[in-house]
Structure 1
Amino acid sequence: MKRYLFLFIFSIAINANAQWHKSENDPLPLHRSQKALSDIIVSDIFSPPVASRIFVYANIAAYEIQVKNSKQFLSLKGQLNGFKGIPDPDQKQISYSLAATYAYWQIGKRLVFAEQVALDSLNSILSWYKAKGYPDTVVQNSVLYGKKVSDSVLKWVDQDQYKETRKLRRYSLVKKEGNWAPTPPGYMAAVEPYWNRIRPLAMKTADQFKPAAPPPYSKDKNSAFYINANEVYTAGKKLDEKQLDIAKFWDCNPFFLNLNGHMNYATKKISPGAHWISIAGIASRLKNFNYIQSSSAYTSTCIALFDAFISCWDEKYRSNYIRPETFINANIDENWRPILQTPPFPEYPSGHSVASTAAAYVLTEIFGDNFKYQDNTEIDYGLPVRGFTSFNQAANEAAISRLYGGIHYRPAIENGQVQGRNIGAYQLKNIKMKKDK
């Protein structure tokens, strides 16, 4: 009798153990984490460059923990600037999935304003693990390891010059004809003028992929600059329904300022980087990627976006280029307004063009060139689903949306895409995430 009782108890223990092990490769906690962190970033109104910083460090921490349990994927140790890797786990039994998710949120929580909301999101996801039968000891061991890793990663994060740039003097406008100036309706101050001082991840320096110089400023109606400005003006007045839909879909303005009489209020939207991180998640689900495969796709995309914004912002405050709205109002039509609200930083190059093209480049390497998907990212912001046959098609659409929207000249778009491709190609050449077959 005792023998049968022992076997019964032993079989229950084995089944319980098997139950939680079956959930180890489930990417759901990671997908939920990306969406929840994105929502917090929208609520906190982080600029596109700062948002890319939050996403990339959280994803690197999660990915590195998963690599400790993988024979297929490689650590980013020694591949990313200044990154010396993470501690090894103790010999205690842990869940690499739970530890990765916990580390993700420890990083995310540290880098956002709404820490309590981040903690609530983490607790909600931890409940998922407990519901899947993860033993208390495994949960505790995994949390401790996740905390150990996040503490290690945060030491590296703190060396990226972000804190130092918070202490720099407020940006002073260079009042010269042809230079950028704040635009209506908010006439807001310049966003992240010192972002080129942030440590890149794959790139060696912020100016490594400096784009060709834009056409010189000119009021001459036969000059390249004036022709480009007039193209923006003319296009904005003749948009068809398809072009208008494209402009709205890729708006991705984290802070749209509404004016209603004497009252001002903001409409919060997803950033360009967050949109592409969402696309990485959509593709991972379509391919039925497990946790580490999804983590690799997210992390690779985030690295491309992070370096893209550093490279782009480096040029923005070097060329200090005037926005179409400013020039057109002063020289062509004082009553003209762009379809999209002009963001508060210099025009050249187009951030969406650089970042989207870099992200599309690495996603194409992961999922293939002719990858069809339905992009439902903007549903939360009242926009319909758009279908694409490739990531490059989406990136091209995102880029040209800036001309349709009236916030960029064509050279900022085309040269920005060249810049983005160079960043993506460099990353794929120099950052290896999978072992050779």
Structure 2
Amino acid sequence: MKTLFPKFLTAVWMVLLAFSCKEKTDYQSAITDGSYQIAAQLKLTDVIIHDIFSPPVASRIYAYPSIAAYEVTALADPQYQSLMGQLKGFEKASFDTSGEIYYPLASLAAYYKVGTALIFSENLMKEHKEKAFAEIKEKGVPEDVFERSVKLGEEVGAHVIAYAKKDNYHESRSFEKYTVKNDPNTWQPTPPAYMEGIEPHWNKIRPFTMDSASQFKVAPPTPFSTEPGSQFYKEAEEVFTTVKNLTKEQSDIAYFWDCNPYKVNVKGHVMFATKKITPGGHWMGIAAIASKTANADWKKTSEALAKTSIAIFDAFIACWDEKYRSILIRPETYINKYMDEDWLPLLQTPPFPEYTSGHSVASNAAAETLTSVFGEPFHFVDSTEVAYGLPIREFDSFRQAADEAAISRLYGGIHYMPAIVNGSEKGKNVGNNLIANIKTSKAELQPVTSKN
């Protein structure tokens, strides 16, 4: 009996220890992939659509929450490098990581904290957060760990919000609206809503990775001319002819990449709007799809979303800098005035100048960035537009998708080819600049040593 009792106690202790370890392992492994952050991003997209934010502003709303979520990743895993000190104006800060922290939850808390601060319909994000947090709590996260994790995430989020407040966005809300010029080569508001020019001062927003908004200037647009046979006339004629002879595939491509956040419809005397995802929102959706396709864990997912959002943000700054420098007339205005007054583009013309193409710049910046994260070839099924009544499309690389997004603007009748070609070049430069200067892996920061 003297030998059996200690053995009995040892057995009980081992069972209790195993049960204790199992409980800890269960909750620690409850979130392994990026599904919760992707769900939060999808909700943010819904709110962006609901609140009708323009493409440039939407790019800002995607970027800062993604950066906050990634900063928690950098705290969680020493293999990841913080963006503090790398992004323009993003000052370094330290955070208390003592005590047990559930980092996937902290990352999510950071995302919700920042995302909610940048929108109008805060209650929609708060409700989504509460539901997600309740689900995570049910996975067995101890109360003290839960609270400590949320606190850390919100502290990181607060630091990112303070960073965002210094990007000149709030000041730009009081800048002068764009005044339409009388010059025949300049942009004019287009039907049916004849909306004013959106974000004419977006080049004054602080970029993340570029020296300035004009760092990647491209060649100016083709000299304006109304003479038949001139180069500009030929470019307009190409748009005119392409739209009149579209194949079904070309129409499908145009509609798939339309991404017009506020399409005005007119039926008789009734005017109403159709709200959809922005171009940046489409590419953030692709980044999420790519993360799932690659079976990325939550840390890799946060890296992909952060880098993609940074690329898109800078792309819109670079693109808008050119738009309101050249202030070029849209094909619809030119063709109606000098070729055919009854001609209509397939897609509704967006309310800002033509050159360069926003889709071309943003898509190529995102594609270069995503290729640096996931490689090439990379087959993925783009189901981003299914929620808006469009079918899926499949691609074998992000660059292939970017090429299609760019040419879709010719098919839609809203851009001349130089805006597409030169816009694509600008976007690639933005993306490659990010890749060269922003490092998310500690290994990328190690100096190269000679083997000699």
Going from structure 1 to structure 2, the CA distance change for 1:206 and 1:295 (only over 3 Å counts) comes to same
Do structure 1's residue 157 and structure 2's residue 153 form an aligned pair? no
Aligned mates of 2:33, 2:246 — CA distance in 1:
44
Between the aligned partners of 2:400 and 2:97, the Cα distance in structure 1 is 46
How many residues align structurally?
437
Question: Percent sequence identity over matched residues?
Answer: 47
- Alpha-carbon RMSD across the aligned residues, in angstroms, is 1.4
Match of 2:273 among 266, 270, 283: 266
TM-fit CA distance, 1:93:
1.5
Question: SS where residue 187 of structure 2 aligns?
Answer: coil
Range 318-327 or range 143-152, more displaced: 143-152
What is the aligned partner in structure 1 of residue 289 from structure 2? 282
**Structure 1 match to 2:450:** none
Q: CA deviation at 1:133?
A: 1.3
| Amino acid in structure 2 at the alignment position of 1:176 | D
The answer as to 2:174 corresponding to 1:167 is yes
Q: Is the CA contact (8 Å cut-off) linking 1:378 and 1:384 kept in structure 2?
A: yes
* Partner-residue secondary structure (3-state), 1:264: strand
- Correspondence 1:371 to 2:378: yes
Are residues 1:389 and 2:396 paired? yes
- Greater displacement, 4-13 / 190-199: 4-13
- Equivalent residue in structure 2 for 1:203, among 206, 210, 213: 210
CA distance in 1, matches of 2:122, 2:13: 47
Partner deviation per Cα, 1:161-199 (whole Å, 9 max, x = no partner): 000000112221122111001000000011111100000
TM-score by length of 2: 0.94
CA distance in 1, matches of 2:32, 2:382: 25
Aligned counterpart, 1:46: 53
Structure 1 match to 2:302: 295
Q: Distance in 2 between matches of 1:7 and 1:389?
A: 52
Report if aligned partners of 1:87, 1:149 keep a CA contact under 8 Å in 2. Answer: no
Aligned mates of 1:74, 1:329 — CA distance in 2: 53
Alignment correspondent of 2:448: none
- Partner residue, 1:148: 155
Q: How does 1:96-107 map to 2 (within 5 A)?
A: 96-107=103-114
Asked if structure 2 preserves the Cα contact closer than 8 Å seen for 1:31 and 1:281, the reply is: yes
Q: Which residue of 2 aligns with 1:82?
A: 89
Q: Secondary structure at the match of 1:395?
A: helix
Post-superposition offset of 1:332: 0.4
1:248 Cα deviation after fit: 0.4
What is the CA distance between 1:5 and its match in structure 2?
6.4
Distance 2:393 2:32 in 1: 30
Task: Choose which of 173, 178, 189 in structure 2 pairs with 1:182.
Answer: 189
Within 5 Å, which residues of 2 pair with 1:338-377? 338-377=345-384
The Cα shift of 1:8 comes to: 5.1
Contact 1:24–1:95 under 8 Å retained in 2:
no
Which one has a bigger Cα radius of gyration? 2
Equivalent of residue 338 in structure 2, options 316, 327, 331: 331
* Alpha-carbon separation, structure 1, partners of 2:134 and 2:217: 47
Partner residue, 2:428: 421
Cα pair 2:33 2:301 within 8 Å, conserved: no
Cα distance in 2 for partners of 1:92, 1:259 equals 59
Secondary structure of the 2:76 match is coil
In the other structure, the counterpart of 1:20 is: 27
Calculate the TM-score normalised by the size of structure 1.
0.97
Tell me the amino acid that sits aligned with residue 212 of structure 1: A
SS in structure 2 at match of 1:377: coil
Following superposition, the deviation at residue 86 of structure 1 comes to: 4.1
d(CA) in 1 for partners of 2:65, 2:181: 36
1:319-365: per-residue Cα shift (whole Å, max 9, x none)? 00000000000110000110000000000000000000111111111
Shift of 1:10: 4.5
Amino acid at match of 2:201: Y
Task: Structure 2: state its 5+ residue gaps.
Answer: 445-452
For 2:260, which of 253, 263, 286 is the aligned residue?
A: 253
Equivalent position SS for 1:265: strand
Alignment correspondent of 2:447: none
CA distance in 2, matches of 1:114, 1:434: 35
Distance 2:365 2:126 in 1: 32
Q: Assess if the C-alpha contact under 8 Å between 1:24 and 1:96 holds in 2.
A: no
In 1, Cα distance between the equivalents of 2:12 and 2:323?
Answer: 73
Contact 2:33 2:295 in 1 (8 A): no
Partner Cα distance (2:53, 2:69) in 1: 22
- Contact 2:335–2:341, Cα closer than 8 Å, also in 1: yes
One-letter code of the match for 1:277? M
C-alpha distance in 2 between matches for 1:131 and 1:26: 18
Residue deviations 1:355-384 (CA, integer Å, cap 9, x gap): 001111111111112111111000000000
Supply the distance in 1 between the matched residues of 2:196 and 2:181 (Cα, whole angstroms): 13
Residue 225 of structure 1: aligned partner: 232
* Greater displacement, 130-139 / 289-298: 130-139
